[in-house]
Amino acid sequence: MGPLLIIVLIIWLLSGIGLILFVLLHSGKGTGLSDIIAGSVYSNTTGTSIVEKNLDRITIVLAVVFFLTLLILMLIYPQGTVATGA
């Protein structure tokens, strides 16, 4: 494995874990981890809070990074090119 492949795999792994965490932080139907963590920041009159907007932005960025690194990995190793260690 080359250093570029290792870097892409690390970015892919970290973005996948981050994506899972930030999706779980989103509030569902009124309750969620984001309500527990930053419940005092929310305002009932403004619809979407600043915290939710930032969570949305971070989640979208992580999803794009995850998707792009997945495409890069698909280009580096097309189907059937990974050698087995026998």
pLDDT of residue 54: 87
Per residue in 56-74, pLDDT tens? 899 999 999 999 999 998 8
What's the pLDDT at 10?
94
Distance from C-alpha of 52 to C-alpha of 50, rounded to nearest angstrom: 5
- The predicted structure's pLDDT at residue 2: 78
Contact 52, 34 (CB under 8 A): yes
Q: To 5 degrees, how large is the angle CA 75–CA 79–CA 80?
A: 130
What phi and psi values does residue 32 have, to the nearest 5 degrees? 175, 175
Asked whether the whole model's pTM tops 0.75, one would answer no
Q: What percent of the chain has pLDDT over 90?
A: 34
Banded pLDDT at 50 (limits 50, 70, 90): confident
